[in-house]
Amino acid sequence: MSVAPVGPPAPSPYAALDGKGARLRAPVGLAIALAALFALVIGIACYAVYADWNTRALMEGLLTDPAAVSDAELDRGARLTGLVGTIQGNALFVTGIVFIIWFHRVRTNAEVFAPGADKLAGGWAIGAWFVPLANFWLPYRIAVKTWGSSTPYGDDAGYRRFSLTLVNLWWGTFVLSRLLGWYGGMSYSRAQSPGAARDAATTMLVGDVLDIVAAVLAVLFVRRLTAMQQARAAQGPAAAAV
C-alpha cells in the first residue's frame, strides 16, 4: 500500500516581513495567558467587592450603634481589606506585565502591516504606561493606531470595518476604575471617622466593580485584536506589507 508523500508544512502566516526586515510574531499564546490572568483578576476583584461591602457595613454599624460592632469585627474587617488589597495588587502587577508584552507585540505587528502609520516608535507601547499623566492618553492612542493598522482586508480588497467602541469602552472603564481605586484607597488610609471610612469603602467598592467590567472588556479587546491580526497575517505578505 503506497503512502502519499508528505509535503512541506504550511508556512506560518506570521512569516511575513516588512521592508525593513521586521517579522510578524504571533500574539496568540500571550492572549491565552491574558485570558487566564484576567479571569484570576476578576475572581479577586469579586472578593474585594465583598471586603469593601463588609467594611462599609461595619462603618454603618458604628454610625448607627457603636456598641453593636465589636473590636474583633473591626479587626477582622481591617485585616480582610489589607489582605485582599495585597493579593489584588500582586495579581494586577503580573497581569499588567503580560499585557504590556502582548501590547508591544501587537504594536510591532501593526508596524509590519502598515509601516509608518503610527508616528510614535514601537517602544512607546511599553514606555507609554510609565509616563505620569501621559499614561492616561498615550496607551489609548497606540491601541487605536494598532487597531486600525491590524484591520484585515475584505473580499473586495478594501479594509473591513471594525468599530472602535470596544477600545473606547475598555479604556474608559479601565481609567475610571484606576482613578476610583486610587482615590478610595487614599481616602480610606486617611479616614479619621466611621463616616469617612464608609465613604472611602463605597468608593473602593465602585472601583472594584469597575475593575471587573474593565477586565472583561480587556479580555474582549485582546481576543478581538489578536483575531484581527491573525486574519490579516493569513492574507499573506502582500497584505502585510503596505
Q: What is the pLDDT of residue 160?
A: 61
Would you say residue 157 has pLDDT above 60? no
pLDDT average, residue stretch 185-197: 91
What's the pTM value of the predicted model, to 2 decimals?
0.85
Number of separate domains in the chain: 1
Q: What is the pLDDT of residues 40-87, one digit of tens each?
A: 999 999 999 999 999 999 999 989 888 888 889 999 999 999 999 999
Of 25, 16, 10, 27, give the one whose Cα is nearest residue 241.
16
Is 189 part of any domain? yes
Is 136 part of any domain? yes
Is 6 part of any domain? no
Rg for the chain (alpha carbons), in Å? 23
Is 79 part of any domain? yes
pLDDT average, residue stretch 212-236: 92
Neighbours of 181 (CB within 10 A): 23
Would you say residue 37 has pLDDT above 90? yes
Would you say residue 11 has pLDDT above 60? no
Is 12 part of any domain? no
Domain that holds residue 181: 26-240
Would you say residue 1 has pLDDT above 60? no
Is 14 part of any domain? no
Is 4 part of any domain? no
Is 117 part of any domain? yes
What is the rounded distance in angstroms from the CA atom of residue 109 to the CA atom of residue 86? Answer: 35
Neighbours of 223 (CB within 10 A): 15
Task: Count how many Cα atoms sit within 13 Å of the Cα of residue 186 in the half-sphere of its side chain.
Answer: 6
What are the backbone angles phi and psi of residue 115, rounded to the nearest 5°? Answer: -55, 130
